[in-house]
Amino acid sequence: MNAQEKQAKIDRFNEGDLNDANLNDAQKALKKAYLLLSFGHFDEALAACSEAARLCPGNSVAPALHGAILIAAGRANDAIQFLSRIIRRYPNDALPRLYFCEACLLGGRFQRGMKELEKIGATLPEDSPWREFYENLRATFDGLEPKEIPAPLVVPPASEEATLQG
């Protein structure tokens, strides 16, 4: 698949194709996941990502967002493991690789995260839709020492949260 075909695929996924029910439903599931993430409903957001991935299995956006939600929930090690599998499935897609870098950087694997970020920077086209994300990651972590990154606040799954509340 060449760069133009890949961009068309990303555009089709992002814009939704009303002639393709699965694609449209996958886009709705991703929107739901993003909204749930915004309100800290991590388990429900992960379920919505799984639904989007089921509906559109050839696209890396839903599994990449799944990894991002794991990061947001403070589960960087889970995100690293999950995103490692996604990268093997979609080796040329930048988004899961970028989230993998972020998980490494936040999960105590600073050197690995910076090394992977350098690799991405060397191959990511200037007009990539993920260029800004890459630049922001670089700007955030460049010049930091690993000890300067705070440990993540781990959010318990909803089932544990209910138990904690009584």
13-17, 35-39, 128-132, 147-151: which range is least confident on average? 13-17
Residue 82 — φ and ψ, nearest 5°? -65, -50
Distance CA(44)–CA(85), nearest Å, equals 21
Q: Does this model's pTM top 0.75?
A: yes
* Each residue's pLDDT tens digit, 29-56: 999 999 999 999 999 999 999 999 998 8
Helix (H, G, I), strand (E, B) or coil at 7: helix
- Residue 40's region, left for phi above 0, alpha for psi from -120 to 50, else beta, is left
Are 107 and 80 spatial neighbours (Cβ–Cβ below 8 Å)?
Answer: yes
Q: Which bin fits 156, alpha (ψ -120 to 50), beta or left (φ > 0)? A: beta
